[in-house]
Structure 1
């Protein structure tokens, strides 16, 4: 059985519509999943114009209550946005459209019409201008879905996943937010998300915080007092992990592990983007439904050029398909 995905184009001011056109213009992808595209029809056509690629779709102006197991259905939905979108810049208008379409995609998936959500890049400034109160979309998802357990963004590059103990916070605040509980949550999140994606016994490594792991406490004791005890407790809880390892060398050993838990955003993101910027995926872990997106941004600077690389969008699509199938098997077995 093919997966059933809800897809949105993200911020219309960026490369999202173009990426969607390139993704769905690849007929092989529609052999893997049926797609319910929640978007304004004009934005879909604009994406195909920019991409120089077309795909067939049927149109409905009402929220579907089922999805046929073939092709693309466009729910012609614009939300509260009525006027034309400005391009290549952050606006409240584009942010509202992003949030409105994402909300519908989540509703469609929680009620069973679709099985997973895939979205093209968003712009945080646009969404905050539109009224987003949370620090990012990951926390917005968790609040919408009433998630109280460990949750957050994981980044994926090929077979390597990363989770992080802190995320979108100022660097000056990171050390104070590193606690045993948060480190254990980061390990647990990596473990559970990998298991939910079909990895039976994930191998997890944990980074230290300080240069050279603090050099035995010479410049920082977080590794000794917090991170190492948290790793030992995680093991007792059934989440096998090893470390801590110095962050400047652990990615050289990436092939030995399925996941690396980092302490802050750029500790893992810089390494992952250097290893493969055009293939990176963000998975929103700890949620009851699969939600994936490319790890890169809206690329306002190349809007309209037809140059957007679809590699990360393709990888996000493939992971969402895999996670949706694993979720279906889990629901069937329950």
Structure 2
């Protein structure tokens, strides 16, 4: 294939999403890298164009025409009226619009009409009020797609990726949820995602749970009893994995480019490092799902919404990564069709 086809969703109408996509579409090389389908209400894209003071092409297309699409087109939906949009405000209407646009993008992907989904930031409070009924949009996507395999949020900064063994749980619950099986799933997810993104032999470092990697059991035995055996099992499967490394130094290795990914034990262990190293360039990947999907790691930024202050860097990084993953996804799907 020459170019993958990417569905782009505007995110929460009250936030910076429409503005970000307008800026993305006007960034150098974007429209040359992929065929793009803007999924959502025409007035949302016009809103983004006005906020960014940049043109957004709205060439209409139907689903029946998508298979032969080249360039940038717009698949029109009616998910929210213009007078329902309240900039910088959590609203049920904004959440409903977000879910309906995302649903349509997933429908297109399941039908093989697009190779990946880029979504601008959603607001979880708005989505929850509109019936999200899931911990986050990634789990919502898995349920919508009927996917029951292992999946988890991955965070990416430039050429550095993190995944985590536990995620949105209380810190006091972390240790009891650290198991060999959970660690192996996180390692495998990082490895598979990096392979799909074009890394031929990913290098993965596993962060320790305890200070100084437990200091030979002085500060806890999780490293000895759980982490080391899990890493050994991954190595036996020919994965390029090392650790456990003390979590206060492992990201120095990642920053120097010595490893491609860090598997952390809990949410903030990796998130603090990633956001300190480059908050405005971070990307979130819906790792493990059958459809490549990515979004900038920051939120809807209600404090600057509508002011033409949104930084497009993370959205561009998400787009670049998604294009690479989408090419692999398209090739794999084509191969399955031929078998």
Change (3 A) 1:109 1:235: same
The Cα of 1:265 is off from its aligned counterpart by 1.2
Partner of 1:299: 301
Unaligned runs of 5+ in 1: none
Tell me how many residue pairs correspond in the alignment: 333
Name the counterpart of 2:91: 91
Give CA-to-partner distance per residue, 1:144-175, whole Å, 9 cap, x none. Answer: 22223221111111111111111122222222
Q: Tell me, yes or no, if structure 1 residue 34 matches structure 2 residue 40.
A: no
1:164 aligns with 2:142: no
* Alignment of 1:52 onto 2:53: yes
Label 1:84 to 1:68 Cα distance change in 2 as closer, same or farther (>3 A). Answer: farther
In the alignment, the residues of structure 2 paired with residue 69 and residue 330 of structure 1 have an alpha-carbon distance, to the nearest angstrom, of 20
Distance 1:147 1:259 in 2: 25
Distance in structure 2 (CA, Å) of the matches to 1:303 and 1:67: 35
Q: CA deviation at 1:137?
A: 1.2
Q: Following TM superposition, by how much is the alpha carbon of 1:87 offset from its aligned partner in structure 2, in angstroms? A: 1.6
Is 1:203–1:241's contact at 8 Å kept on the other side of the alignment?
Answer: yes
The Cα shift of 1:321 comes to: 0.8
For 1:93 and 1:184, how far apart are their aligned partners in 2? Answer: 40
- Unaligned 5+ runs, structure 2: none
Q: Which ranges of 4 or more aligned residues in structure 1 deviate by more than 6 Å? A: none
CA distance in 1, matches of 2:28, 2:113: 22
Per-residue CA distance 1:43-69 (angstroms, 9 max, x = gap): 111111110111322125x54552544
Report whether the alignment pairs 1:330 with 2:332. yes
Matched-pair contact (CA < 8 Å) for 2:231–2:243: yes
1:277 maps onto 2:276 in alignment:
no
TM-score by length of 1: 0.95
Contact 1:162-1:261 within 8 A present in 2 as well = yes
Q: CA RMSD in A?
A: 1.7
Secondary structure of the equivalent of 1:217? coil
Separation in 2 of the partners of 1:83 and 1:52? Answer: 21
C-alpha distance in 2, partners of 1:39/1:69? 17
Residue 212 of structure 2 corresponds to: 212
